Structure 1
Amino acid sequence: MPTDPNLDRFDHIPETALAWHREGKGAALATVVETWGSAPRRVGSQLAISGDAEIEGSVSGGCVEGAVIVEALEALEEGAARELEFGVSDGDAFAVGLACGGTIRVLVEPVGKAMPEDMLADLVAARAAREPRAYVVDLETGARRLDADGHETRFRMDRSGFEEGSRTFVAIHNPPLRLVVVGAVHIAQALVPMARIAGYDPVIVDPRETFGSDARFPGERILNDWPDDAVAGIGLDGRTALVLLTHDPKLDDPALMRALRSDCLYIGALGSTRTHGKRVERLAEAGFSEDDIARIHAPIGLDLGAAGPAEIAVSIIAEMTQVLRKGAR
């Protein structure tokens, strides 16, 4: 099972499959490798099936899971991978919230047979260490490998799929998304629940305990530390977004400088154009280049004409999503 607490809020399907296999139950991983039309799940979505017909995850939102389980149990008996194709009817699609149906292709791989146990264990270890990996399988030859690099665009876009013109499928396993919010202000109160819905695991940082309190952010992780110390402890990587909301250079700047020295996914800072101009001057004096400073999204958020904390939070989530899916502007 996962050792990284962040994974508890996200999928732990490979971890579950490995655990079932090692318990002697047998396990198979089913992965969506291709879709047409309005398929319920995106390419790369997974379902783990144990030899006792236990399941974790989903490949269709419920439309074809029963058939996949039957096929997976047969694949476990045979010890070989198999490809499945399903048409999701309009009626089934409507039942899981879609307007129309589609078609999905699913790869089923018995663990320890088609998918080597040590390869799955290496993948699980990389996920726990927040290290991205690509699981690459050639469906013509059956060759499999794990890559730590060489798929930069796919890693950045979080996009699994077939290599163009081939039968080689690349399943991207990125660390869970995180959001570090510096400044437990009104915007943060709107932003944090939105970010969680969007798939981020949020952390709120504010040394002012009156602001960063359980009463204002019930159930959330709050660090009442100085921001530079907090982000150093959390770690900033290519799957972590940093949002600075305090308006106070004493709090924002040290964290901002750490972010500019990292490969942080997104860096956004609240403030007017004039405020950002002064921020740019301070950073230049601290030795940061124009290219470094250009990584900062400021004024923060897409220009939606937002008014009020909730709308500003929407604009921030929208900009974070744009950077995640399309790259920096």
Structure 2
Amino acid sequence: MDLALLSALNAARAERRAAVLVTDLETATSRMVTEETLAGDPLEGPIRAALRSGRSGPVADTRMFLKVQVPPAQMVVIGAVHISQALIPLARMLGYEPVIVDPRTAFATPERFPDVQLIAEWPDVALPPLKVDRYTAFIALTHDPKVDDPALVHAFTKGCFYIGALGSRKTHAKRVERLTAQGVDPDAIARIRAPVGLAIGAITPAEIAVSIMAEVIQAWRQGIA
């Protein structure tokens, strides 16, 4: 592979940017396509589909091969709560890199969340270093506006592929009022999945975690790219 092309792919990986190496199997020539250069590409449709699935493979009816490089999906969970204890193992099993943020040190303890990146800080301190981006599922679970609201505002600016928040419809309506009063764009607020998770009748923390994980997968596979 051309050294410049390899360097460009490595740079994209380091910056958590998706990239696709497009190789002509007849000429053995390759080029890199990123999300920034994708629009108008002759293979735009197949490349978008490959980015969505994360799978490499040949393009039907051509001699072109797509090698997909997608950043690992991460999950930022705001709230060291019972639902989080059930959600984190599910996320890991499905290949997500989980992080928990909760300034409440009585909840955010290594004993309750072993072997997980746990940040016992307020969102304004904890979130900026995390590289939250469009490959991030962002889930607010504390039920505390002082924690959840600023965290959600941060997520809005990062283009996360999934943003969810715990709470009933009544609770969410109050959340919408608060965020609107802060001047948050209505389109951004509308992106919040609330009540969080697919409507499967979940009641227990474990069931709610399953419903959240299912909705995250749906958003990842059907909505991204």
TM-score by length of 1: 0.62
Shift of 1:289: 3.0
Residue 15 of structure 2, aligned match among 129, 134, 140: 129
Shift of 1:288: 2.5
Are the aligned partners of 2:59 and 2:66 in contact in 1 as well (CA < 8 Å)? yes
Matched residue SS, 1:215: coil
Are the aligned partners of 2:161 and 2:223 in contact in 1 as well (CA < 8 Å)? no
Partners in 2 of 1:173 and 1:220 — Cα distance? 25
Shift of 1:164: 4.3
Matched residue SS, 2:152: helix
Matched residue SS, 2:208: helix
Partners in 2 of 1:283 and 1:216 — Cα distance? 31
What's the counterpart of residue 128 of structure 2? 232
| Worse-matched range after superposition: 170-179 or 157-166 | 157-166
What's the counterpart of residue 147 of structure 2? 251
Partners in 2 of 1:131 and 1:289 — Cα distance? 26
Asked whether 1:207 is paired with 2:103, we answer yes
For structure 1, list consecutive stretches of 5 or more residues without a partner in the other structure. 1-114
Partners in 1 of 2:203 and 2:125 — Cα distance? 32
Shift of 1:132: 1.4
What's the counterpart of residue 171 of structure 1? 67
- String of CA shifts for 1:236-290, please: whole Å, max 9, x gaps: 2111111100000000000101111221121010000000011111122222233
Partners in 2 of 1:239 and 1:296 — Cα distance? 16
Q: How does 1:17-166 map to 2 (within 5 A)?
A: 115-149=1-35, 150=38, 151-166=47-62
Q: Structure 2 counterpart of 1:268, which letter?
A: G
| Worse-matched range after superposition: 145-154 or 291-300 | 145-154
Structure number with higher strand proportion: 1
- String of CA shifts for 1:152-172, please: whole Å, max 9, x gaps: 453344343333432212221
Partners in 2 of 1:208 and 1:164 — Cα distance? 53
For structure 2, list consecutive stretches of 5 or more residues without a partner in the other structure. 39-46
| Worse-matched range after superposition: 280-289 or 205-214 | 280-289
- String of CA shifts for 1:45-90, please: whole Å, max 9, x gaps: xxxxxxxxxxxxxxxxxxxxxxxxxxxxxxxxxxxxxxxxxxxxxx
Shift of 1:231: 1.6
- String of CA shifts for 1:209-260, please: whole Å, max 9, x gaps: 1111110011111001102321222122111111100000000000101111
Matched residue SS, 2:127: helix
Matched residue SS, 2:65: strand
Partners in 1 of 2:60 and 2:5 — Cα distance? 24
What's the counterpart of residue 168 of structure 2? 272
Partners in 2 of 1:278 and 1:163 — Cα distance? 48
Partners in 2 of 1:161 and 1:276 — Cα distance? 42
Matched residue SS, 2:175: helix
Residue 320 of structure 1, aligned match among 206, 209, 216: 216
Partners in 2 of 1:280 and 1:191 — Cα distance? 25
Partners in 2 of 1:299 and 1:159 — Cα distance? 31
Partners in 2 of 1:291 and 1:145 — Cα distance? 36
Matched residue SS, 1:296: coil
Residue 223 of structure 1, aligned match among 106, 110, 119: 119
Structure number with higher relative contact order (C-alpha < 8 Å, ≥ 6 residues apart): 2
Q: How does 1:269-308 map to 2 (within 5 A)?
A: 269-308=165-204
Distance 1:136 1:232, change over 3 A: same
Matched residue SS, 1:208: coil
Aligned residues: 214
Partners in 1 of 2:176 and 2:52 — Cα distance? 27
What's the counterpart of residue 311 of structure 1? 207
Residue 79 of structure 2, aligned match among 183, 190, 215: 183
Partners in 1 of 2:52 and 2:156 — Cα distance? 18
Partners in 2 of 1:244 and 1:205 — Cα distance? 9
The alignment-based identity, stated in percent, is 50
